[in-house]
Amino acid sequence: MIIFIAVILALGWFFGQINGGGYSGLIIAAIISFVMTFFSYYAGDKVALATSGAKEVKKTDNPYLFRMVENLCIASGIPTPKVYIISDPTINAFATGRDPNHASIAVTEGAIQKLQNEELEGVIAHELSHVKNYDIRLMTIVIVLVGIIVLIANWLFRFNFFHKNDSRENNGLGTFIIIAGIVLAILSPIFAELIKLAVSRRREYLADASAALLTRYPEGLAKALEKISTENNRPLKNANAATAHLYISNPFGKSKKMFSNFFSTHPPINERITELRKMAI
């Protein structure tokens, strides 16, 4: 988080120096940060649910799913979140919200139909662990910070190429600032994205461990992940890069691209299964 803030302030300072506005870049960065954070904090979950095409269900609509969520919430000691179903045959699920009192969990029809009771319980326990561990809040903040960095870096990059300031072009300091600004504008979004992916992957391992502790049966989640790895050959219908990190597995399905694991929002499923089965020993 400190690295994110430092990069945002650096980008804001370079932006102000290059366009001749002094510290105006820092002020602009602060305003953008506040507005985006406020919106994401209070409305980010609604955007994620709408993007995924999730529909809210009540206990009478799907008693089996609703009671499973309720029972796990009682065992975990958190309020029951709103329950949503995504009309898609792939096996997936995600949780969103800002805290346990304002949380939602969405499960695909494929998960409900294809997973056995203990397997679906493991998946839901994983998502509820994200809620209890406040991962849903953490990742919302991280995403906002990544978005701010990309936005300011884009502005900075455009100013480097299209904005001219004669008073700076005629001295070494001005040249250094311009070069540093270009380098920062190019590298900042890449570093920010890598940090976001690293945070997301770490929290997935934590949620797996927390789910095993909650259900006392790590094999259930391990088997669910095995089915996900073999049956999710196609991407989720409403898969979106902005919300991919929320799901229990990559919503884009199997990828054969080079470095796909390195740039994935999730750790390799085989590694997650191995860690879960170590817990059962």
Phi, psi of 241 (to 5 degrees): -60, -30
DSSP for 239-278, please give it: --TTTGGGBSS-TT----STTTTTT-SS--HHHHHHHHHH
What CA–CA distance (Å, rounded) separates 77 from 5?
34
Nearest to 161 by CA among 24, 8, 21, 18: 18
Question: For residue 102, what is the DSSP state?
Answer: G
Task: Name the pairing type of β-strands 103-108 and 54-57.
Answer: unpaired
d(CA 181, CA 5) in angstroms, rounded, equals 17
Start-to-end CA distance of the chain, whole Å, equals 36
Length of the chain: 281
At 254, list the tokens: 């199997």
Pinpoint the alpha helices (H) of the chain: 2-18, 24-52, 63-76, 109-114, 117-132, 135-162, 166-169, 172-215, 218-231, 269-279
Name the 3-class secondary structure at 236. Answer: coil
DSSP tag of 79: P
Catalytic residue among 121, 127, 169, 231: 127
- Whole-number Å distance between alpha carbons of 248 and 273: 13
Q: Any catalytic annotation for residue 271? A: no
Active site residues: 127
